[in-house]
């Protein structure tokens, strides 16, 4: 429904709930930011899919995959918030375009690596610029879509990324059969990333901060500028939101992230599949993820309308529990054929795919619009990045000591059971924090109405 002018306030009237704001061409704009996010997000798939071949080609230790992925994530912990700050202070679109283009160049250069030091250098440098994508796109998505459709938008975004990645995965795996095929993989991906930056440059228009928020749309330029100004007091207030703090911890104990980086290597080393055959599981995983994001986003939004106090939390908890059970079944038994593993990988993909359509809307529902960019940078770049880095680094070294099978038992399996139990705490904090943000936005509406 299009935005309409609010009725004039009277001294006895409480501020009315503002109508929804539908940002023009929001789905087209979202599609334009998906291209560079897909390129940036899947750059690591070359490493994870072709890890066995790369290890053999330049004599890397088994722990190298964990070291490389952890270095990239440690870098994102620093540069994710940095790029979010730069984008806010300068121009979000320009920041995103430039960082994506540089990522493409550095990804292509990674294909020229001759030894361990070279691949660490180029992979690490590309991670500096990849770090910009996640917080910027997460904030732009909340600006394009209102509260009622954010779950669906996030689900479609990550579903599209997963679909493209799942198609690319088996194709990347076939490069294992080509001499120096892993080098061509980095060259090709670098070129695609540069193309994605051009798509962003010519096909995307930034909607502006808080464009989907009725209260923001009603504000004067001066009021909007004041609310957009980030201060330490506002950042401290963000950490004072219990739901947001719990979501940070929840991301910190998300062991399911290990499947993406070590899954192919695990199947090759534990159950004896070739790299090309093991890479087959990326397609069903991606399709499962697609169903989880598309269907999960729609179901989550519907449940949230029916159960606004607990709908999203229930979906989040189900996703963690379901992934834990599926990963234990998928990794702890030798099913003999890759097709059984592929089916189980699709279930894990589905459960993991439920997350983007629920965790981002949860944060957006409790954090004021002007702080959401910083909030997403902290949750996705810092805390999720820290978890990913620590799990991958420890998995690489633990694999040499106790084997990858034991690593998969404890991190994607047992730890995710703990994660599911931890989510229970959100049932208490989430309704109260949503009410607090609603009261804040209503107060701003009243302030606008009196000016």
Residue 269, classed as helix, strand or coil, is helix
Cβ 165 vs Cβ 399: under 8 Å: no
Q: What is the pLDDT of residues 298-315, one digit of tens each?
A: 777 777 788 888 888 999
Most confident of 330-339, 419-428, 433-442: 419-428
Tell me the average pLDDT across 128-144.
Answer: 83
**Pick among 1.10.10.10, 1.10.357.20, 1.20.1250.20, 3.40.640.10: CATH of 26-219+234-449:** 1.20.1250.20
With 70 as the cut, is the pLDDT of residue 388 above it?
yes
Of the segments 165-169, 323-327, 445-449, which one has the largest average pLDDT value?
323-327
The whole-number pLDDT of residue 375 equals 81
pLDDT for the residue 51: 75
pLDDT for 3 beyond 50: no
Percentage of the chain surpassing pLDDT 70? 86
SS (H, E, C) 273-318: CCHHHHHHHHHHHHHHHHHHHHHHHHHHHHHHHHCCCCHHHHHHHH
User: What CA–CA distance (Å, rounded) separates 308 from 304?
Assistant: 5
pLDDT, position 249: 92
User: Distance between CA atoms of 428 and 161, rounded to whole angstroms?
Assistant: 33
pLDDT of residue 225: 52
Q: Which class for 250: exposed (0-12), middle (13-18), buried (19 or more C-beta within 10 A)?
A: buried
Q: What are the residue ranges spanned by the domains of the chain?
A: 26-219+234-449
Please give the pLDDT value at position 158: 72
Q: Supply the pLDDT for residue 5.
A: 38
- Tell me the mean pLDDT in the region 85-106: 89
| Residue 386 scores a pLDDT above 60 | yes
What pLDDT sits at residue 292? 85
At 307, phi and psi to the nearest 5? -130, 75
Q: How confident is the model at residue 402, as a pLDDT?
A: 83
Phi/psi for 129 (5° steps) reads -90, -30
Out of 191-195, 284-288, 370-374, which region has the weakest mean confidence (pLDDT)? Answer: 370-374
Predicted confidence (pLDDT) per residue in 98-130, tens digit:
999 999 999 899 888 888 888 888 888 888 898
- Report the pLDDT value the prediction gives residue 1, as an integer from 0 to 100: 39
Of the pLDDT bands very low, low, confident and very high (cuts 50, 70, 90), residue 216 is: low
Least confident of 135-144, 215-224, 243-252: 215-224
Give the pLDDT confidence score for residue 310 in this predicted structure: 83
Residue 332 has pLDDT above 80, yes or no: yes
3-state SS track over 318-373:
HHHHHHHHHHHHHHCCCCCCHHHHHHHHHHHHHHHHCCHHHHHHHHHHHCCHHHHH
pLDDT given at position 13: 41
Q: Is the pLDDT of residue 408 over 50?
A: yes
* Tens-place pLDDT, residues 230-276: 567 767 778 889 999 999 999 888 888 788 778 888 888 888 888 88
The pLDDT confidence band at residue 12, using thresholds 50, 70 and 90, is very low
Q: Please, which pLDDT band fits residue 415 given cuts at 50, 70 and 90?
A: very high
- Is the predicted pLDDT of residue 343 greater than 50, yes or no? yes
Report the chain's mean pLDDT, rounded to a whole number: 80
| Of the listed ranges 65-79, 85-99, 127-141, the one predicted with least confidence | 65-79
pLDDT at 345: 92
Q: What is the pLDDT of residues 434-449, one digit of tens each?
A: 988 888 878 776 655 5
Query: Which one has a higher pLDDT value, 19 or 423?
Result: 423
Comparing C-alpha atoms, which of 205, 287, 258 is closest to residue 398? 258
Please state the rounded mean pLDDT for residues 419-435.
94
Q: What is the pLDDT of residue 329?
A: 94
Instruction: Give the span between the Cα atoms of 196 and 36, in whole angstroms.
Output: 5
Angstrom CA distances, 106 to 47, 52, 122, 182, 208, stand at 14, 22, 6, 15, 30
Helix (H, G, I), strand (E, B) or coil at 124: helix
């Amino acid at each position: 429904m299009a935005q309409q002018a609010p009725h004039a306030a009277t001294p006895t009237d409480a501020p009315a709930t503002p109508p929804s704001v539908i940002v023009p061409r929001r789905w087209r704009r979202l599609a334009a930011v998906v291209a560079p996010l897909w390129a940036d997000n899947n750059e690591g798939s070359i490493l994870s899919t072709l890890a066995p071949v790369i290890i053999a080609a330049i004599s890397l230790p088994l722990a190298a995959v964990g070291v490389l992925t952890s270095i990239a994530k440690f870098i994102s912990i620093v540069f994710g918030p940095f790029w979010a700050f730069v984008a806010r202070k300068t121009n979000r679109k320009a920041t995103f375009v430039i960082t994506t283009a540089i990522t493409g160049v550095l990804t292509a250069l990674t294909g020229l690596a001759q030894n361990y030091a070279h691949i660490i250098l180029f992979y690490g440098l590309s991670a500096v610029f990849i770090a910009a994508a996640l917080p910027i796109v997460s904030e732009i998505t909340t600006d394009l879509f209102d509260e009622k459709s954010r779950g669906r938008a996030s689900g479609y975004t990550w579903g599209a990324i997963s679909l493209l990645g799942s198609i690319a995965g088996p194709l990347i795996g076939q490069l294992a059969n080509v001499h120096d095929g892993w080098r061509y993989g980095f060259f090709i991906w670098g070129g695609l990333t540069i193309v994605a930056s051009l798509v962003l440059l010519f096909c995307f228009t930034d909607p502006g901060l808080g464009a989907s928020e009725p209260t923001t749309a009603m504000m004067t330029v001066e009021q909007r500028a004041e609310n957009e100004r980030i201060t330490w007091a506002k950042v401290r207030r963000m950490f004072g939101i219990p739901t947001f703090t719990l979501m940070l911890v929840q991301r910190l104990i998300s062991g399911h992230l290990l499947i993406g980086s070590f899954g192919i290597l695990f199947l090759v080393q534990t159950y004896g599949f070739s790299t090309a055959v093991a890479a087959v599981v990326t397609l069903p995983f991606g399709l499962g993820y697609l169903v989880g994001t598309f269907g999960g986003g729609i179901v989550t939004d519907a449940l949230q309308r029916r159960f606004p106090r607990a709908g999203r939390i229930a979906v989040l908890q189900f996703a963690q529990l379901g992934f834990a059970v599926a990963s234990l079944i998928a990794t702890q038994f030798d099913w003999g054929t890759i097709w059984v593993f592929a089916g189980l990988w699709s279930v894990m993909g589905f459960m993991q795919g439920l997350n983007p359509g629920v965790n981002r809307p949860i944060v957006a529902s409790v954090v004021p619009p002007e702080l959401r960019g910083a909030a997403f940078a902290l949750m996705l770049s810092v805390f999720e990045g820290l978890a990913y880095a620590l799990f991958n680094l420890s998995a690489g070294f633990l694999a040499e000591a106790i084997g990858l099978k034991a690593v998969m038992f404890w991190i994607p399996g047992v730890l995710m059971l703990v994660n599911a139990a931890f989510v229970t705490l959100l049932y208490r904090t989430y309704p109260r924090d949503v009410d607090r943000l609603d009261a804040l936005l209503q107060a701003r509406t009243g302030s606008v109405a009196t000016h």
